[in-house]
Chains A and B, each alone.
Chain A
Amino acid sequence: MGDGTAGTVTVKNQTNYDTICDSYKSLSNKAFLMNESLGYVIVGVNTVIRTIMIMMITWIGYSSETVLLAKITTFTFLMLFFNTAFLLMLVNADMSEQPVAFGFTMGTYSDFNGNWWKQTGNSLISTMSINAIFPIIEWGMFLAIRLFFRWIDRGFKWGENKEQPTKT
């Protein structure tokens, strides 16, 4: 005790404990990220669904081109509508308060309440806002893909191929 350290406490095996604020911040950031990305995920999944539906119905085949297009339009729309408008509503639904629950009793929202609008309503608005400008994004995306393949076709060069033909 004569070494001058009397009165101090040394903590052994010190562990970095998260404070409540850190946990809250981390969870809040995750929730924000998931909520914000949900709109983009829905639009992305919608595009995949549309493509798959078109391929499947084309594979089934119909007697005329008009019937085929009508079927593709109808089924693609139904899938998109279900994915955009109904899926989020149904997975979060708890209809146990209703006269007939139709099996939807596992969710967290018994009605379109404040929390529903804050979470799912926000995602819906985000999805629709992305949907609104999606034709432009889609055009840019497909243009980039086409330009990429043209670039490969030109031997990884832009512009016309100015190489002189080999004389034999």
Chain B
Amino acid sequence: MQYVNLYAGPEFLMHFKYSAMLNIVYVTMMYGIALPILFLYAILGLLVLFISEKLLFFYTYRLPPSYDASLAKHVIGQMRFAPMIMMVFGYWFLSSNQLLENKIFMIQRASDTPLTGHTYGDFVYADGWGAPQWPLALMSIFMIIQAFFGGMIMKCLIQCFPSLEVGNEELDEDIDTYWNVLDDGDRKWSQSECTNFRGYANMNLEKFGMKQKSKDFKLLEEEEFQALMDSKSTGRTL
């Protein structure tokens, strides 16, 4: 066993790579608005990770256990906070007095910490809602509400509008053929459409520069058409 371990490839540590990916995405989202070059590094990092993992997976790693999709779903679920961080930090960067407006507060001594006149209290005043930061402030509020109260809001909405609920689809297999379970209105409409379209076969196509009977005016094949015309309601409809 020791010999096998020594000469076999390394194990495929999926969680190791997932955490690195999440880190790249979150750091980029956090500082990306002020340091746009991070987006390029993130693309490069994810590309390198994708290519290297693909190659290593096929040529080097030992065969991993059969993972299901739950870990991937878990990681995707964790990524939902990244845009929220981007909006919050983006708002802070874009509302900075120095970064865009070039306002600098003087200091008395070299060791003094320079004041900035930029506080998070500005958020509740009109100053904090100027351009270009206000869209990010608005999105931050929406995203924070969605992230922390989204579940609760959705429950309330479902109470009011039950059709919003997306549940598991239950198969109802105890039904007749398609044509027989159409309601009368749909059946008549389908029969009329097919019959009407077949009627075009008697039209003079030569006046349109086409050969007679060069086109097949059938919405359904003969067997299906007959099934439609013979169909009748059995009580249960779609």
Once the chains bind, are B116 and A66 in contact (CB under 8 Å)? no
Chain B proximity of A124: nearest CB distance (Å): 6
Q: With an 8 A cutoff between CB atoms, is A25 at the interface?
A: no
> When each residue 132-153 of chain A gets 1 if its CB lies under 8 Å from chain B and 0 otherwise, what string results?
1111100100100010011001
Once the chains bind, are A131 and B71 in contact (CB under 8 Å)? no
Known A65-B65, A80-B23: A128·B28 in contact at CB below 8 Å: yes
Once the chains bind, are A132 and B45 in contact (CB under 8 Å)? yes
How far does the alpha carbon of A99 sit from the alpha carbon of B122 in the complex, in Å? 10
> When each residue 1-41 of chain B gets 1 if its CB lies under 8 Å from chain A and 0 otherwise, what string results?
00100110010011110111011101110110011011001
How far does the alpha carbon of A85 sit from the alpha carbon of B14 in the complex, in Å? 23
Q: How many residues of A contact B (CB 8 A)?
A: 47
How far does the alpha carbon of A70 sit from the alpha carbon of B19 in the complex, in Å? 10
Q: With an 8 A cutoff between CB atoms, is A23 at the interface?
A: no
How far does the alpha carbon of A50 sit from the alpha carbon of B113 in the complex, in Å? 35
Q: With an 8 A cutoff between CB atoms, is B53 at the interface?
A: yes
Beyond known contacts A69-B67, A132-B44: 7 more, CB 8 A cutoff: A72-B15, A74-B78, A117-B35, A124-B35, A128-B24, A128-B41, A133-B44
B interface residues, Cβ below 8 angstroms from A: 3, 6-7, 10, 13-16, 18-20, 22-24, 26-28, 30-31, 34-35, 37-38, 41-42, 44-45, 48-49, 52-53, 56, 65, 67-68, 70-71, 74-75, 78, 92-93, 96, 98-99, 113-116, 118-121
29 contacts between A and B (CB under 8 A): A46-B23, A50-B20, A66-B71, A70-B70, A72-B15, A73-B15, A73-B19, A76-B19, A77-B22, A80-B19, A85-B30, A97-B116, A97-B118, A97-B119, A98-B119, A110-B114, A111-B98, A111-B116, A112-B92, A114-B98, A125-B38, A128-B28, A131-B20, A132-B45, A135-B49, A135-B52, A146-B10, A150-B6, A150-B7
